[in-house]
Amino acid sequence: MKSKLLLALVAVFLSLPLITAFGECDVDPGVRDTVRIGKVVIHEVVPGQFIDMPVYVYADEDLGAVSLGFKWSSPNIRYASVSLSQEVIDMGFTILWHRKDTLKNIIGVGTINFSGGAIPASSTARLIFTIRFMTKTGAVPSLITIDSTFFGVAGLFTLIPAGGGTADGICPEYVHSAFDISLGLVPGDADGSGTVSITDVVFLVNYIFSDGPSPTPLLSGDADCGGTINISDAVYLVRYIFGEGAAPCE
């Protein structure tokens, strides 16, 4: 039974049917599985520094394999490497395929247990692997968004149940924020102190209405990630600081 399952999983990765190659997968029959990446804040831009972005998976069924692709648009970082979490390694999993496209800023990773084992279902998200980026020479402060993507041919964004029952795997929901990597700035930290407080509200009000100094870098004052700095950012910060609203850019 295990050998048949293993062959089926490898077939999904290496010789996907035509419908899968175009990015289709099955709807989760139970609670929607999710893929989430951890938000990373880098306070200072240093060329060549590593940025480790964790990738978490929640699934209410045992998983025999995982195939995920990610893309980003920022010119300030490049892909460096990927590593499985120790927990997943201890379960007997290894990286089956690993591809990158440096021109399109795409990375794809597939992991599997060659002994037919599974990542057990869990009520909480589990760290599956970590993607390591590196800042480029000339990188500037920026907010970077990482999105899900299809990386053909064996790059469907999918979770494959250990028990089989689906040829194409399950389509997970991808969960992330308005930004995923904050490079050289803290959203809402208008005065550059390194923390978000009421002084940032005062700083923004002075900038907007009294010709005060601008936030440095300017994006740090965009608390709601609306793309511009205005009074709504100050209001957003007030609600956050006093416990009535979400964190900046959430």
Q: Band of the pLDDT at 137, cuts 50, 70, 90?
A: very high
**Are 109 and 164 in a shared domain?**
yes
Which among 127, 156, 183 is the end of a domain? Answer: 183
The domain containing residue 249 runs over which residues?
Answer: 187-250
Distances (CA, A) of 53 to 57, 106, 129, 146: 13, 14, 9, 10
Query: What does the alpha-carbon distance between residue 178 and residue 120 come to, in Å, rounded to a whole number?
Result: 30
Contact 64, 118 (CB under 8 A): yes
Average pLDDT, the chain: 84
Question: What is the model's pLDDT at position 6?
Answer: 45
What's the pLDDT at 154?
Answer: 55
| Cα separation, 145 vs 74, whole angstroms | 8
What are the pLDDT digits (tens) for 28-78? 777 889 999 998 888 888 999 999 999 999 999 999 999 999 999 899 999
Sheet arrangement for strand 181-183: 40-42, 181-183, 142-144
Q: How many domains does the chain have?
A: 2
φ, ψ (nearest 5 deg) of residue 249: 65, 15
- For residues 77-102, b (16+ Cβ closer than 10 Å) or e, as one string? bebeebebbeebeebebeebeeebee
Helix, strand, coil proportions of the chain in percent (round to 5)? 20, 30, 50
What is the mean pLDDT of the segment spanning 83-88?
Answer: 95
Both 26 and 134 in a single domain? yes
Last residue of a domain, one of 166, 183, 200: 183
Query: What local confidence, expressed as pLDDT, does residue 16 receive?
Result: 37
Q: Do both 146 and 193 map to the same domain?
A: no
Does one domain contain both 236 and 178? no
Statement to judge: residues 73 and 138 lie in one domain: yes
Do 42 and 90 have their domain in common?
yes
Q: Are 175 and 193 within one domain? A: no
Compute the distance between CA of residue 150 and CA of residue 67 in angstroms, rounded to an integer. 10
Pair of tokens at residue 218: 């300017």
Q: Is the domain of 30 the same as that of 100? A: yes
- Helices 198-209 and 231-241, packing angle to 10 deg: 170
* Residue 242: CATH number of its domain: 1.10.1330.10
29/74 same-domain check: yes
Range in 5-9, 81-85, 199-203 with the lowest mean pLDDT: 5-9
Picking from 134, 166, 183, the residue at the C-terminal end of a domain is: 183
Maximum CA pair distance of the chain? 73
Same domain, 161 and 214: no
CATH number of residue 39's parent domain: 2.60.40.680
Residue 144 has pLDDT above 70, yes or no: yes
Instruction: From residue 218, give the alpha-carbon distance in Å to each of 12, 42, 43, 153, 223.
Output: 47, 16, 14, 41, 11
pLDDT at 24: 65
Would you state the pLDDT for residue 36?
94
pLDDT band of 218, cuts 50, 70, 90? confident
Half-sphere exposure of 30 (CA within 13 A, CB side): 11
Average pLDDT (113-129) is 92
Give ∠ CA 86-81-84 in degrees, rounded to 5.
15
Taking residues 89-93, report their average pLDDT.
Answer: 94
pLDDT above 90 for 21: no
Of residues 25 and 248, more confidently modeled? 248
What whole-number distance in Å separates Cα of residue 128 and Cα of residue 141?
29
Percent over 70 (pLDDT), the chain: 87
This model's pTM is above 0.85: no
Q: Are residues 125 and 139 in the same domain?
A: yes
